[in-house]
Structure 1
Amino acid sequence: MIAVVIGGGTMGAGIAHLLLAGGHDVTLAEAGADRAEAAHGAVLRSLTKAAERGKLAATPDELLARLTVVPDLAAAPSDAELVVEAVPENADLKRRVLTQAASVCPQAVLASNTSSLSISALAEGLPGDRLVGMHFFNPVPVQELVELVHHAGVDPDVVARVRAWAEALGKTVIEVRDSPGFATSRLGVAVGMEAIRMLEEGVASADDIDTGMRLGYGWPMGPLKLTDLVGLDVRLAIAEHLAAELGPRFAPPALLRDKVDRGELGRKTGQGFFTW
């Protein structure tokens, strides 16, 4: 398969890694030469770490031979079969890059990696019959789940093709009807916001809240450490979106806003609810 990934941040680089390891040719599109170079480096680091853990069937150099990084989406291959958008969680930005992708890659299935935005809304003005949500989880090469989000206008054959591609990459797929937060973000944010409220109220320490969920409920990682991993700014944006769509039960606590205002965004800045 010829695949295009738009956006070379944490998620985009991970998706590119996954597709390369699955035997596909990948074009990774970024905005500008500097960001394209950084994206190439991110994929290389991800592949190198996997190789060190014995998780790759080929060497990083062999896989990178099938990666092309371009500084403009316009340079993506016109015969691409799959385009995965992994730009920041902004509806206007996502719609803009998907619109361009639909033109540059006229036969490709269009997939958005959004974790909460409406796929139906993103489909407006697009060939919506070939647009789905393809929600990966961080770190993409490791996490088993892909959330496949479908809307009323999508071609069922497109949904079946995306499921088959994801399963061939070793993922377990759940199908979810397009709704605010889908299944995973809606539940994950609900628990995450309550954990932050508990910390804010002094119910328990961050470590004890997380340990309680790990040992009491079998979570591999507690909700506060997970928020650090996802990014406090990302979790805040999703919570604000869900609060607007579903009501005040998703309203973000003041503690989360304060940390984001201070630049304490989690692992990516070295400080969140934990020190990294």
Structure 2
Amino acid sequence: MSKDHTAHRLTILGAGVMGIGITALALGFGLPVTLVDVDETTLAAAREKVRQQLKLARIMGTLPDGAEPGELVTTVSLEEGAEATVVIEAVTELAEVKAAALAKVSALLSPGTPVVTNTSSIPVDELADSVARPEDFLGTHFMNPPYLIPMVEVISGRRTGAAAEATLKSALQELGRTPLVVNDNPGFVTSRVLHPMINDAVRVVQEGTAPPETVDALFEGCLGHRTGPLRTADLIGLDNLADSLRVLYERTGDEGCKPNELLLRKVREGDLGRKSGRGFYEYGGQLS
């Protein structure tokens, strides 16, 4: 896609795993991106990680042939991202942190600019009171890594307007993604089903029924799961998984969502999955 035909410009808040992944995807499809975080050191590291992801995405053939990369601007100033057609918040999975970031950025935007929270579990309506215009607010759940997963869960809140939903869907289609809209609820569809299942898989390992390799092999060979639940957990990030399960447990009361002690112990020990080089498996060094 040439820049002459790019309809959207994205601002992304947060240069963590998902912020970097969404940025790389957008740049790879030719969209300009303003990536915002709190300090220049984080942003300098993010630029290198985006470059690495773009290289890997090209090797894997998941970007359009011959596409000229979009322009990347990194900044600590929210004001520099105020001209975006869509703003995506991808900060840490804590409701109070997200609410603070959303309040600040939404106050700077023109009416009609969609403000999007990228979250795996936190209900959109729970965050809607923090934004200037709830009708412009909705959610996404990009899967990791975004350049490899062609579908995106879109969460329409009780106060989300049709125009905001249409604009977000247009931007996602420009990114080569297929948006599927679901109604608001803790965990939506994917996390509400997948994360308790992974929690049960962790419990099976903790109880000594089978090691991670056997659990995953059975899911792959018997159930057709592409990677198995524990490799999936490592890809999600065990800290992110634990945070998501806490959100689900606190908001639903479902005991199956209470994070398993083995999962919590790994998080305490810094074994976070692929991004730290070790989770349920070893990855030979830190990956970002």
Q: TM-score range by the shorter chain?
A: over 0.9
Q: Which letter maps to 1:206? A: P
SS of 1:104's partner is: coil
Cα distance in 2 for residues equivalent to 1:54 and 1:249? 38
Query: 1:114 — aligned with what?
Result: 119
Query: 1:9 — aligned with what?
Result: 16
Aligned: 1:80 with 2:53: no
SS of 2:56's partner is: helix
TM-score by length of 2: 0.90
Cα distance in 2 for residues equivalent to 1:97 and 1:42? 23
Write out aligned runs for 1:60-209 (5 A). Answer: 62-63=68-69, 66-76=71-81, 78-107=82-111, 108-126=113-131, 127-209=133-215
Cα distance in 2 for residues equivalent to 1:241 and 1:53? 34
| Cα shift at 1:172 | 2.1
1:93-134: CA deviation from partner (whole Å, max 9, x where unpaired)? 111111111122224210111110111111103111001101
Aligned: 1:245 with 2:251: yes
Cα distance in 1 for residues equivalent to 2:258 and 2:205? 15
Aligned: 1:49 with 2:48: no
Q: Which letter maps to 1:9? A: G
113-122 vs 241-250, which moves further: 241-250
* Aligned Cα root-mean-square deviation (Å): 1.7
Cα distance in 2 for residues equivalent to 1:221 and 1:101? 37
Q: Which letter maps to 1:249? A: G
| Cα shift at 1:52 | 3.1
In the alignment, structure 2 segments of 5+ residues that lack a partner are 1-7, 284-288
Aligned: 1:218 with 2:224: yes
SS of 1:203's partner is: coil
Cα distance in 1 for residues equivalent to 2:60 and 2:158? 42
In the alignment, structure 1 segments of 5+ residues that lack a partner are none
| Cα shift at 1:23 | 2.5
| Cα shift at 1:63 | 1.6
Q: Which letter maps to 2:109? A: C
SS of 2:181's partner is: strand
Cα distance in 1 for residues equivalent to 2:130 and 2:239? 29
| Percent of residue pairs identical | 32
Q: How many residues align?
A: 273
| Cα shift at 1:90 | 1.1
| Cα shift at 1:75 | 2.5
32-41 vs 159-168, which moves further: 159-168
SS of 1:63's partner is: coil
Asked if structure 1 preserves the Cα contact closer than 8 Å seen for 2:57 and 2:148, the reply is: no
Q: Which letter maps to 2:88? A: V
Q: Which letter maps to 1:79? A: E
Q: Which letter maps to 2:32? A: D
Asked if structure 2 preserves the Cα contact closer than 8 Å seen for 1:30 and 1:39, the reply is: no
